[in-house]
Amino acid sequence: MQDILVNWTPQETRVAVVENGAVQELHIERSLERGLVGNIYLGRVARVLPGMQSAFIDIGLERAAFLHVADLHLNATGPRGEPLAGASPQPIEKLVFEGQTLTVQVIKDPIGTKGARLSSQVSIAGRMLVYLPQDNHIGISQKIGSHELREQLRQRMQALVGKPEEGGGGGFILRTNAEEATDPELADDITYLRKTWTTIRELSFTVPPGTLLHQDLSLAERVLRDLTNDDTQSIRIDSRQQYEHLLAFGKAFTPTAVSKLELYRGERPIFDLYNIDTEVQKALARRVDLKSGGYLIIDQTEALTTVDVNTGGFVGARNFDDTIFKTNLEAAGAIARQLRLRNLGGIIIVDFIDMSRDEHQAAVLAEFRKQLARDRTKITVSGFTQLGLVEMTRKRTRESLAHMLCEPCPVCEGRGQVKTARSVCYDILREILREARQFDPKEFRVIASPAVVEMLLDEESQHLAGLSDFIGKPISLSAENQMTPEQYDIVLL
């Protein structure tokens, strides 16, 4: 069974999913950093650019947004947005005109000086479905299993959606997590999405251009839509205002989750119940200790994430093979949890401790797959390679915890290490020699961190004096507390 804790403040919402007293997932959303993707606006065409086959649309933001002809639903396209056979696309100047109002959706956030990119082909994401109100097509995610299963799901959806003349308009795409959904769950999602679109349509007739018609759900609302399931025991939230909001939202859109909502009235902060803030700090660390005495080393890079398993101080088993086997078994569960908690995505390489027995390898891999099966994010595991590594991928759904909460260190610039004071001293001596060959100052003054200056005055004083004699110029030193270990400046006087 799982409990969901929601810590809400005006600037930030944090959600923790707890199972058996241990934090399994952490979701964070900051009000100032919410993106625009998915938002639906009533826009006004500010300018049509035939040469670029685009239009600038005023949607009430600081900069006008950008709509390309390929993203216009009015153009001749099929149910999936592909050009119809034999149909030539209409130029944008024949489809829109200045001053026209359009219902548009943001498909790319504004970046730098560029405005947001728009589409008039609206789609609304639900828990298991994506609703396409302007189409009548039923699509299935390419990641859903066999052809037979896909056809079976399509037939079930067609029965649930109904015929357009019976009020069953609109198309749907089944998302990956709809693979094992029941008919009542799919029906709930269909009702929710159609109700949302009806609200958007009605609002568009009563508000001026530049108005936000629909915003993708907040994190607290997505708890009810995406995170709650049959195993959820309670959803506790520490804000009365948000509790009442979620209660109203749940009654309208996710009635099965309403009975699990609770207002937390405790004196202690809600995240202190399971030491969640401590878990967050641990999830930002490179090393993860295991109960047995072993540990994991997790390194996240641009290309992939590596996880290294070590026995550490664990010597409890009868022989070395059993020690390795038990450490790897414990690590399998810990790694699966850390992937969820840190939200690590992309390519992941796990280096379990080498096992000499094939049955141990098979048992560890089976346990690893079993633990990963609890993840709501799509995962593929390739098994052990010839080098004894486990290769896997985990779908990227949002930024990792480290990228959301941290930034590269200004001292080491994300390398995780800095040059030694002696290395910086030798850099300085080489730079002085280079400058002396080009310029003829009266004196060289070195400004550096206190540790570097101290080394130049002490252990490296002989080399500094030798360089001064060689170039025939005095070299003075000045310590600057604000400088990082690698920073220095050479002033010509």
Query: Per residue in 236-282, pLDDT tens?
Result: 999 999 999 999 988 877 777 889 999 999 889 999 988 899 988 98
Q: Are residues 376 and 302 in the same domain?
A: yes
Which has the closest alpha carbon to 180: 224, 230, 215, 131?
A: 230
What confidence score (pLDDT) does residue 308 get? 95
Give the tokens for residue 369: 């797959």
Q: Is the model's pLDDT at 365 over the cut of 90?
A: yes
229, 250, 276: which is the final residue of a domain? 276
Q: Are residues 304 and 401 in the same domain?
A: yes
CB 451 within 8 A of CB 485: yes
CA dihedral 12, 13, 17, 22 (to 10 degrees): 30
Q: Judge whether 59 lies within some domain.
A: no
Q: Are residues 262 and 318 in the same domain?
A: no
Q: Is the model's pLDDT at 413 over the cut of 50?
A: yes
Q: Are residues 374 and 393 in the same domain?
A: yes
The b/e string for 33-58 (b: 16+ C-beta within 10 A; e otherwise) is: eeebeebbbbbbbeebeeeeebbbbb
Q: Judge whether 486 lies within some domain.
A: yes
Characterize the bridge pairing of strands 65-68 and 117-119: parallel
Q: Judge whether 416 lies within some domain.
A: no
Q: Judge whether 412 lies within some domain.
A: no
Report the CATH number at residue 461. 3.40.1260.20
What confidence score (pLDDT) does residue 78 get? 41
First to last CA, the chain: 72
Q: Judge whether 315 lies within some domain.
A: yes
DSSP letter, residue 84: P
Cα–Cα distances in angstroms (integers) from residue 203 to residues 12, 14, 66, 199, 207, in the given order: 28, 31, 23, 6, 6
Q: Are residues 471 and 365 in the same domain?
A: no
Q: What is the mean pLDDT of residues 326-337?
A: 93
Report the CATH number at residue 168. 3.30.230.10
Total of domains in the chain: 4
Q: Judge whether 80 lies within some domain.
A: no
Rounded to an integer, what distance in angstroms lies between the CA atom of residue 322 and that of residue 325?
5
Q: Are residues 393 and 322 in the same domain?
A: yes
Report the CATH number at residue 242. 3.30.420.60
Q: Are residues 361 and 438 in the same domain?
A: no
201, 236, 254: which is the final residue of a domain? 201
Strands, E assignment, 75-156: 101-108, 117-119, 124-125, 129-132, 138-140
Burial label, 270 (beta-carbon count in 10 A; 0-12, 13-18, 19+): buried
**Lowest-confidence range among 84-88, 207-211, 296-300, 384-388?**
84-88
Q: Judge whether 29 lies within some domain.
A: yes
Strands, E assignment, 434-487: 444-448, 475-479
Q: Residue 185 — pLDDT band, cuts 50, 70, 90? A: confident
Q: Judge whether 410 lies within some domain.
A: no
Q: Is the pTM of this model over 0.75?
A: no
Q: Are residues 307 and 268 in the same domain?
A: no
Q: Are residues 401 and 289 in the same domain?
A: yes
**Lowest-confidence range among 44-48, 256-260, 293-297?**
256-260
Q: Are residues 437 and 343 in the same domain?
A: no
Which has the closest alpha carbon to 36: 5, 57, 14?
A: 57
276, 294, 313: which is the final residue of a domain? 276
Q: Are residues 141 and 180 in the same domain?
A: yes
Angle between helical axes of 358-372 and 320-342 (0-180°, round to 10): 20
Tell me the residue range of the domain where 179 lies: 123-201
Q: Are residues 298 and 271 in the same domain?
A: no
